[in-house]
Amino acid sequence: MSRRHYNLPPLASLSTFEAAARHLSFKVAASELSVTPGAVSHQIKALETELASPLFIRKHRGVELTEDGAALLEALGSSFLKISKILEQIRSGDSDNHVTVGSTTAVAALWLSPSVIRFWQDYPHVKVNQMAEDTYFADRSDVDFFIRYGKDPNASLPHTTLYRDILTPVCSPELAQDLKGASLKDLTEHRLIHLATKHSNWTTWTDWFQALGFNESIQTQARVSSYALALQVARKGAGVALGWKRLLKPMLDSGKLVALEAFSIPAPHNFYLVERENDSLSEGALALKEWLLNELQENSV
């Protein structure tokens, strides 16, 4: 048998193992790889034979990783992620000046996009791709870093604190005048605009009221699927939205929305920049990360 330069088993067996170990399922791995479960089992057995060590503990209702299997998965996951990132940069045609950042649609529209536009004034050559999704971002190869509200307790990536926002009800100027001097009980009698998305860790009206010591039931008279819709309803005077003062600063400064300052409280969680290690980021990604952190520090509230 010819000598392999890196003394590695066949890459097909490694990629098959990585998929099976990541899902802890031969069946799901087979579906991902477009092969049969039998083919996955064959590749795993061949790999275990070559390594002379079991990688899985076979059980009646699935599999678990052995200690060696867990160590191999960690190494392969990290390596495959780096390879995927390099390939993406090569395809983009400019590996040093390419960055992809993720956030929710609200963060993208209200803070990140305007910041990126200002960033381009200093770094016009950096290609910034924004992924705005109201789902949980995780450790994915197509994103250099992402903005998250609240810390992910199961995250494998480092979290850098960006800021803690201030939560306060916001509404139209006319409705704010009517609510002047109102109590929390009075507020519940107005239409509160509830944000309801499939994957959301945003603070809710219930969380906010409880933080202020108000534990009575709250009626849901208006429910929207995006924060942009909530703000639109509030601006039209048709209800009250739960506002984030830093995110909404341009609207508050312009008078399009008014904050009910008497009810302002610090948000329960920080916003975080969830990032890869610096040595795996391109020059463009490092530049954007540093620029965002500096801008937040200079404009702290």
Using one digit for the tens of pLDDT, what is the confidence trace for 226-264?
Answer: 888 899 999 999 999 999 999 999 999 999 999 999 999
Banded model confidence at residue 156, pLDDT cuts 50, 70, 90: confident
Q: Look at phi and psi of residue 255 and say left if phi exceeds 0, alpha if psi is from -120 to 50, else beta.
A: left
- Categorize the per-residue pLDDT at 195 as very low, low, confident or very high, splitting at 50, 70 and 90: confident
Q: What is the C-alpha to C-alpha distance for residues 198 and 261, in angstroms, rounded to an integer?
A: 30
Longest Cα–Cα distance in the chain? 84
Q: Write down all domains in the chain, each with its CATH number in brackets.
A: 11-90 (1.10.10.10), 94-162+270-298 (3.40.190.10), 166-266 (3.40.190.10)
Residue 49 has pLDDT above 90, yes or no: yes
Q: What are the structure tokens assigned to 140, written together?
A: 């994915």
Q: Which of 3-17, 31-45, 166-180, 286-300 has the lowest mean pLDDT?
A: 3-17
pTM, whole model, 2 decimals?
A: 0.65
Distances from the Cα of 23 to the Cα of 31, 65, 179, 257, angstroms: 11, 11, 52, 47
Does 122 have pLDDT greater than 60? Answer: yes
Q: Which residues contact 49 (CB under 8 A, 6 or more apart)?
A: none
